[in-house]
A and B are shown apart, each in its own frame.
Chain A
Amino acid sequence: MVTDSVPPRLLPSGDSAITVEFSRHIDDAANRRVLALDRALADSPIAGVTESVPTYRSLLVHYDPVQIGFEALGEKLLALAERPVAAAVKARHWRLPVAYGGENGIDLEDVATALSTTPDDIVARHVAGHYRVAMIGFTPGWSYLSGLEPFLHMPRRQNPRLLTPAGTISIGGVQTGVQCLAGPSGWHLLGRTPVRTYQLHREPIFLLEPGDAVTFVPIDARTFAEQDRAAEAGEIVAELIAS
């Protein structure tokens, strides 16, 4: 387990990036420390740092070694990481509509069978969850959410699919996620959201931020189709409950 007192490990990611690693595991406490360091870096910028990328367990800090070297930057990052993690950071809370099952979630029935329950129970459990954006990565807008209840933890598929639909809501391992663009995935597809977490020529281009709270609300396939058209035209269609 990770405690606030254990300093992170500084791992070189080549000559222009440092991985600040808080844990080797998916760990909620570690992710909070990652996001806290990310915020601290935004609040107290370090000259030479070009961008930072939060993940579940580490913060990848890109920098320009012409301006600052590995050792000097490492010291500054460790000092920032010592700042206390705010107990309750005010997070935005998004409610995303999801059409579960059928052609929108082709694995729902198989997941229910594998977990010896009904598709309705899977949906009810998934909708009951309160999730947090732990990281966004791999492809634009792909949002990895923490907070999946243990009952829904499932190994990834033996054979990843090469193409899964845009907007897919899926589960894999201990995680659930919102996939924005069509692409490969080894996760189990429960449904689709019409919400675009990434959409060019819309403000904002990226809807979710690491640290945002997310919940889901079921919609039927017809509503999905309507909202999908609206979203394609640039509407956000997600509900911002609190910020």
Chain B
Amino acid sequence: MTRLVISSIGPVSSVQDGGRHGAQRYGLTQSGAMDRLALAAANCLVGNASFSACVEVGPFSATFTAREGAVRVALTGAPRSADIGSRSVAFETSMTIAEGETLTLGFVRGGAFSYLAIEGGIAGEPMFGSLAVNARAGLGSPYPRPLQGGDEFHVKAASVAAERRIELPAPVAGPIRLVMGPQDDEFADDAKALFLDSEWKISATSDRMGYRLEGPVIRHLHGHNIVSDGTVAGSIQVPGNGAPIVLMPDRGTSGGYPKIATVISVDLGRFAQIPAGTGFRFKAIGMAEAQAELRKFADLLRGLPDRVSAIETSDLNIEALHHANVAGSAVSAHDASTWHVVATD
């Protein structure tokens, strides 16, 4: 049986998909990919359903080797060097790892998480409809924990089809948008203004549960203890030390700190990809605008398969690939070497 074997992989890498839903009332959080657009794009490139399970690869290097057959994969998300054997391969394309060959991913260059989709998906036993790893709850399949060297996936042998690329819209720039609340009334106007007008950085101690923010101290009006209530991915809670924490997909389902605001769903993946130490700002928008953005995003996700096209031989010149690259990802567009070597593939 064809396998994709992880020879080595850094921490904070795990199998993730669209997440699990329906059991938050029992304290079971949703988990799932930090960057849903990147997850869906990777899956579409290899013909999988958009929210199938992928390997979410954290910032460190990783190597994957095809055994007992060739394996088709696709890469999206945080850019980094990617080589199969001695040839570089491009993000936002599919690629085939021949039997015995190794795909080597370097350290991320911008961003935090890359997504490796495998044609035919990852075989595993879903719990609550998901293979996503939630290590605390002992959930996730085929491994209920972050990935380690020596882990392997049983996969389908690569189909005989042209490699594909996907043209994604230009990445959204600008501040991370949020909707105020649910407990913004626990903060005075000047504290809210300080929160919205300041530059923030993501702390290096952040993880899939929450991103800690570094910036000014945000004071509460009535102290930091509220009676626990429900949280969502994107909730921005402010604990006693005044340093906000943005709750991410592995968050606790309830929390007892006031939540000043909530990152909009559309921007959560983009927020998740901000590297630690990089400055950014927030911007408050209204509910109507946030929901209009979400409906547009839903249309984009639904239309992703239409953005996939076969890479024809005639496309294999640097200019065409460079064009595709600009349309697809501003980040890998800066990496001309990636494209040059693909052209010789």
Residues of B contacting A11 in the complex (Cβ-Cβ under 8 angstroms): 181-183
A200 close to B294 (CB less than 8 A):
no
Contact B259–A62 (Cβ < 8 Å): no
What CA separation (Å) do A140 and B138 show in the bound complex? Answer: 10
B215 at the interface (CB under 8 A from A): no
Question: Within 8 Å of chain B (Cβ to Cβ): is A65?
Answer: yes
**Interface of chain A residues 23 through 52 with chain B (CB within 8 A):** 23-26, 38, 50-52
Asked if B227 contacts A60 (CB within 8 A), the reply is no
B182 touches A19 (CB 8 A): yes
Q: How far apart sit A210 and B25, CA to CA, in the bound complex (Å)? A: 8
In this complex, the member of B181, B182, B290 whose beta carbon has the largest number of chain A beta carbons within 10 angstroms is B182
Confirm or deny: B179 has a beta carbon within 8 angstroms of a beta carbon on chain A: yes
| Docked-complex contact A13 and B25, CB < 8 angstroms | no
Secondary structure call for the B interface: mixed
Residues of A within 8 A of B138 (CB): 200
Q: Which of A78-86, A89-97, A130-138, A231-239 contacts B (4 or more CB under 8 A)?
A: A130-138
> In whole angstroms, what is the CA distance A25 to B193 when docked?
27
With known contacts A19-B229, A139-B136, A139-B252, A69–B235 Cβ distance under 8 A? no
Contacts of A181 in B (CB 8 A): 136-137
CB distance from A146 to the nearest CB of B (A): 11
**Inter-chain contact B229/A56, CB cutoff 8 Å:** yes
Determine whether A110 belongs to the interface, using a CB cutoff of 8 Å to chain B.
no
A51-B21, A139-B137, A140-B28 are contacts. A60–B228 as well, Cβ < 8 Å? no
Contact A66 B254 (CB under 8 A): no
Contacting chain A: which of B101-109, B261-269, B315-323, B327-335?
B261-269
Task: Determine the distance from Cα of A205 to Cα of B136 in the docked complex, in whole angstroms.
Answer: 16
B291 touches A12 (CB 8 A): no
A14 touching B264, Cβ below 8 Å: yes
| A140 CA / B30 CA spacing, docked (Å) | 11
Give B28's nearest chain A residue, CB to CB. Answer: A140
A17 is an interface residue with CB less than 8 A from chain B? yes
Check A57 for interface membership: any CB of B closer than 8 A.
yes
A54 within 8 A of B: yes
Q: Which residue of B lies closest to A141 (CB)?
A: B27
- Contact (Cβ within 8 A) B295 A65: yes
Candidates B27, B262, B291; contact of A142 at CB < 8 Å = B27
Q: Taking the complex as formed, is A183 at the interface, i.e. its CB lies under 8 A from any CB of chain B?
A: yes
A interface residues, tally (CB under 8 Å): 46
Contact of A135 among B228, B234, B298 (CB under 8 A): B228
B-contact bits for A142-166, CB 8 A (1 contact / 0 none):
1010000000000000000000000
Flag B281-323 by CB within 8 Å of A: 1 or 0 each: 0000001101101110010000000000000000000000000
Given the interface contacts A14-B235, A183-B136, does A19 sit within 8 Å of B295 by beta carbon? no
> Closest Cβ of chain A: how far from B108's Cβ, in Å?
27
Which listed residue, A17, A141, A183, A200, touches B232 by the CB 8 Å rule? A17
A50 touches B262 (CB 8 A): no
Whole-angstrom CA separation of A144 from B288 in the bound complex: 35
Q: Does A16 contact B (CB under 8 A)?
A: yes
Query: What's the Cα separation between A118 and B290 when bound, in Å?
Result: 56
Q: Which of B229, B231, B265, B294 has its CB near the most chain A CB atoms (within 10 A)?
A: B229
Within 8 A of B (CB), among A192-224: 198, 200, 205-206, 210
- Min Cβ gap B228→A in Å is 6
In angstroms, Cα B28 to Cα A144, docked, is 15
**Would you give the shortest CB distance from A29 to chain B, in whole angstroms?**
14
Interface string of B20-52 (1 = CB under 8 A from A): 011111111000000000000000000000000
Q: Which residues of B contact A60 (CB under 8 A)?
A: 24, 229-232
Contacts of A205 in B (CB 8 A): 26
Whether a CB of chain B sits under 8 angstroms from the CB of A228 is: no
Enumerate chain A residues within 8 angstroms of B182, measured Cβ to Cβ. Answer: 11-13, 19, 21
Bound Cα distance from A96 to B139, whole angstroms: 25
Could you tell me the distance between the alpha carbons of A66 and B297 in the complex, rounded to whole angstroms? 10
Q: Is A2 an interface residue (CB 8 A)?
A: no
Indicate if the CB atoms of B262 and A140 lie closer than 8 Å.
Answer: no
Show 11 residue pairs from A and B whose CB-CB distance is below 8 angstroms, ordered by the A residue. A13-B181, A13-B182, A14-B235, A14-B263, A17-B232, A51-B22, A58-B230, A62-B232, A65-B295, A137-B254, A140-B23
Q: 8 tightest A-B contacts by CB? A: A60-B230, A137-B254, A14-B262, A11-B182, A15-B290, A65-B291, A206-B26, A138-B252
Please give 11 more A-B residue pairs, beta carbons under 8 A apart, in addition to A13-B259, A26-B227, A51-B24. A14-B232, A19-B182, A21-B229, A51-B22, A51-B25, A137-B252, A137-B253, A138-B27, A139-B137, A139-B252, A206-B26
